[in-house]
Amino acid sequence: MATIEIDDDVYEALQVPEAERSQALKRELAVSLYARGILSFGKARELAELSRREFHELLGERKIQRHYTETELTEDIEYARD
């Protein structure tokens, strides 16, 4: 597992309860990287530690359009068949 270092002053300044900070940072990073096309939906969802439905909802709340590739279409078709 990789680790990202965040200056203590910045970490303490987050306007999120301490118990929720790690999860909040993962979600923010996942949404940002997905929106920029750096991470796929599946990997961003994994980083955010959310279900497909939950990550879809989070993207919707942020008004971030879903990137839908042929690979994802194939995966969805295979999932639907199973």
Q: What mean pLDDT comes out for the span 52-66?
A: 94
Task: Say which residue, 8 or 1, is predicted with more confidence.
Answer: 8
DSSP labels, 50-61: --HHHHHHHHHH
Could you tell me the CA-to-CA distances from 38 to 3, 21, 28, 49 in Å, in that order?
18, 23, 14, 17
Segment 63-74, tens digit of pLDDT: 998 887 788 788
Segment 10-53, tens digit of pLDDT: 999 999 999 999 999 999 999 999 999 999 899 999 999 999 99
Question: What pLDDT does residue 68 have?
Answer: 76
Q: Say how many residues make up the chain.
A: 82
Task: Give pTM, 2 decimals.
Answer: 0.78
65 SS3 class: coil
- What's the number of CA atoms in the CB half-sphere (13 Å) around residue 22? 5
Question: What pLDDT does residue 19 have?
Answer: 94
Contact present, 59 and 31 (Cβ < 8 Å) = yes
